[in-house]
Amino acid sequence: MITLNGIQKVYRSGETDFIALEIANFTCSKGEMLAIVGESGSGKTTLLRILGLLDNFEAGSYQFNQQETAQLSAKEQAKLRNQEIGFVLQTFGLIEDYTVKENILLPAKYLPRGERAAKINHLAEIAEQLNISEQLKKYPRQLSRGQQQRVAFARALINDANLILADEPTGNLDSSNSQRVIDLLKQEHQKGKTVILVTHDQAIAQQCDRIVGIKDGKINENRHFEKE
């Protein structure tokens, strides 16, 4: 599903360039549940943002379903992102003026009318599973951080995307809500979805099919963590 080759991401600050990511080769197969682990600042979010077509890169090739993403127009990229990718951002990215329900339904906004209606039922189901049914009419500021995180997660699930990218989705949750989120990701995985999960929690990483280590912006095949 995903193939990266020779990817380089550079952040420029004044005169100096900082290479945030340098990935020789990375692949993720359809249906895989993969954990990316690494210290803070190692490039995990940068990698996930590139995979989610939220950021560009300086060099290299990113193929999504055998399609070279750089060859897609901005509009085609947006369509791909919207239909194929569900993203749980580390910073949630909720819209303050929208209710919880409106936030969750945001990715469904551009669907045909009939499909959008079906999402309302799906919404009730997801909200129940994530324990936020009581919060649907509230605004993000009225929620705890843990609840906000679960809203962001519900939004990633609403369009039934084939690829779910989750950036430390349990970072702000207590252990019971944290396991609830992981169970939901596993459930999506069992439905055949591809899941890429960033975490620094080894207990969570161990629940995935494969663990990939990242350090100083580099994935090293030799640094793949052994599953216990």
Ligand X SMILES: Nc1ncnc2c1ncn2[C@@H]1O[C@H](COP(=O)(O)OP(=O)(O)O)[C@@H](O)[C@H]1O
| DSSP state for residue 213 in the 8-state scheme | E
155 binds, among ligand X, Mg ion, none (CB under 5 to 8 A by kind): none
Nearest distance, CB of residue 41 and Mg ion, angstroms: 8
> What span, in angstroms and rounded, lies between the C-alpha atoms of 161 and 84?
5
Convert residues 36-75 into a mask of x (bound to ligand X by CB under 6 A) and - (unbound): --x-xxxxxxx-----------------------------
Strand, coil or helix: 44: helix
Question: Of 6, 11, 134, 206, which one interacts with ligand X (CB under 6 A)?
Answer: 11
Element housing 166 (H / E): strand 163-167
Of the pair 10, 111, the CB lying nearest ligand X is at 10
41 binds, among ligand X, Mg ion, none (CB under 5 to 8 A by kind): ligand X
Nearest distance, CB of residue 91 and ligand X, angstroms: 10
- Residue 33 has which token pair? 């549940």
> What span, in angstroms and rounded, lies between the C-alpha atoms of 72 and 75?
8
Nearest distance, CB of residue 44 and Mg ion, angstroms: 5
169 part of the interface to ligand X, by CB under 6 A: no
Look at the block and give the residue holding tokens 């560009």. Answer: 56
Of the pair 45, 170, the CB lying nearest ligand X is at 45
Q: Do 31 and 24 touch, CB atoms closer than 8 A?
A: no
Nearest distance, CB of residue 42 and ligand X, angstroms: 4
Q: Do 69 and 49 touch, CB atoms closer than 8 A?
A: no
Determine the distance from the C-alpha atom of residue 45 to the mean position of all C-alpha atoms in its chain, rounded to a whole number: 9
Binding site for ligand X (CB under 6 A): 11, 18, 20, 38, 40-46
